[in-house]
């Protein structure tokens, strides 16, 4: 396989090289590179669902909305806690309010009155006592919004799992259809050769040979159609799971049927329907928002305590 290098003695016109081995090595190298480039990643049903849940951008957006709603829920719960505020100031006057060198009055004034620089600091604590349900409505609205976002995330997750499972089984069925079509084509080829041999021996007619030829042609078309369906199914699966490599599905198709009666389906559908649950939570949030808006016009009762410090420089 190694190429040979030969050169002429000194004084000849030009060296002569032989690359016969390289001519054989180059196609083998290109074939190996092509096989490595087209190597597919085998996916099972669980691996397909896991990839879809990990890479679906719509699902990630729904999860981010749940986190934002959870943060708003904590913000809504904080209205029941006391509010603490603090502030400080540094003041510098052009001159003191009272001069400190007045005869007979030394020490009669506080340092804050005779100094031209002083600091002050204050803190206040305020606790709501009665707000006509405004704080409770605000928390109830945040709670309903959080449950609504969680329900949307659950629905999107179930839809992602369903679509991933649907695309996986479509690709699996398309792969099985390709195998069946190829086996049918192989049977047609054998029948075609057998019929041609029988015709040369005079044991069958030209009509049977034509029928065998038509069967081979039809099976070739069926194989081409099945391969196109498989390619399209794998392309849809790859696009859905956001895979960087070409997938190849492996697994078995379950054959156990599941039977449901209307009495089993309707109550569960009414209880767990995502649209009905989301409508209920949206109505609950709207009612809480309305109660909070009405109570916002009424006076509120708070308990407050504050303290201030001053210190001259």
Tens of pLDDT along the chain (313 residues) come to 333 333 334 344 444 443 344 343 444 444 444 444 455 678 899 999 999 999 999 999 999 999 999 998 888 888 888 888 888 877 776 666 555 555 555 555 555 566 667 677 888 888 888 777 788 888 888 899 999 999 899 999 999 999 999 999 999 999 999 999 999 999 999 999 999 998 888 888 889 999 999 999 999 999 999 999 999 999 999 999 988 888 888 888 777 677 777 877 777 777 767 778 888 888 888 888 888 787 777 787 878 888 887 766 6
Alpha carbon 131 to its chain centroid, in Å, reads 41
Q: How far, in Å, are 86, 126, 133, 135, 156 from residue 295 at the CA level? A: 28, 19, 7, 9, 36
Q: What is the reported pLDDT for 181?
A: 95
Length of the chain: 313
What distance in Å separates the CA atoms of residue 111 and residue 114, rounded to the nearest whole number?
A: 5
pTM strictly above 0.75: no
Alpha carbons within 13 angstroms on the beta-carbon side of residue 84 total 2
| C-alpha to C-alpha distances, 159 to 53, 86, 87, 162, nearest whole angstrom | 10, 50, 52, 5
CA-closest candidate to residue 82, choices 310, 270, 305: 305
What is the pLDDT at residue 274? 77
- Give SS3 for 7: coil
Contacts with 12 (C-beta within 8 Å, 6 or more apart), sequence order: none
**Kind plus residue range of the DSSP H or E element containing 73:** helix 57-77
The angle, 0 to 180 degrees and rounded to 10, between the axes of the packed helices 206-241 and 45-55 is 40
Please name which of 173, 312, 311 lies closest in space to residue 237, comparing C-alpha atoms: 173
In DSSP terms, 247 is beta-bridged to 41
pLDDT of residue 309: 75
Judge whether 117 and 93 are in contact, CB under 8 Å: yes
At a CB cut-off of 8 Å and minimum separation 6, what does 143 contact? Answer: 73, 76
Which residue pairs from 161-166 have beta carbons closer than 8 angstroms and sit at least 24 positions apart in sequence?
A: 161/49, 161/52, 161/53, 163/52, 163/240, 164/48, 164/49, 164/51, 164/52, 164/53, 164/240, 164/241, 165/45, 165/48, 165/49
Q: Sign (positive/negative) of CA torsion 267, 270, 274, 278?
A: negative
SS3 252: coil
Q: Give the Cα separation of 306 and 313 in Å (integer).
A: 23
């Amino acid at each position: 396989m190694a190429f040979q290098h030969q050169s002429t003695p000194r004084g000849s016109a030009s060296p002569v090289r032989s690359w016969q081995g390289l001519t054989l090595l180059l196609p083998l190298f290109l074939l190996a590179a092509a096989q490595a480039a087209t190597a597919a990643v085998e996916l099972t049903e669980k691996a397909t669902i896991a990839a879809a849940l990990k890479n679906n951008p719509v699902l990630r957006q729904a999860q981010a909305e749940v986190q934002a709603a959870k943060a708003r829920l904590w913000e809504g719960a904080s209205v029941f806690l006391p509010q603490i505020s603090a502030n400080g100031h540094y003041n510098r006057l052009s001159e003191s309010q009272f001069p400190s060198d007045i005869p007979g009055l030394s020490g009669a004034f506080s340092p804050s009155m005779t100094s031209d620089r002083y600091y002050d600091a204050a803190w206040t604590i305020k606790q709501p006592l009665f707000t006509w349900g405004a704080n409770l409505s605000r928390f109830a609205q945040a709670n309903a919004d959080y449950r609504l976002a969680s329900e949307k995330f659950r629905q999107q997750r179930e839809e992602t799992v369903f679509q991933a499972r649907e695309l996986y089984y479509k690709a699996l069925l398309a792969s099985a259809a390709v195998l069946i079509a190829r086996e049918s084509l192989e049977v047609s080829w054998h029948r075609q050769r057998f019929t041609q041999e029988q015709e040369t021996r005079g044991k069958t007619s030209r009509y049977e040979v034509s029928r065998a030829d038509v069967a081979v042609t039809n099976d070739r078309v069926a194989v081409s159609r099945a391969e196109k369906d498989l390619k399209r199914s794998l392309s849809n699966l790859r696009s859905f799971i956001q895979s960087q490599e070409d997938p190849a599905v492996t697994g078995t198709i379950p054959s156990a049927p599941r039977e449901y009666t209307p009495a089993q389906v309707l109550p569960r559908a009414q209880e767990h329907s995502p649209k009905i649950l989301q409508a209920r939570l949206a109505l609950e949030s709207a009612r809480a928002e309305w109660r909070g808006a009405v109570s916002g016009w009424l006076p509120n009762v708070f308990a407050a305590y504050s303290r201030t410090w001053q210190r001259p420089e």
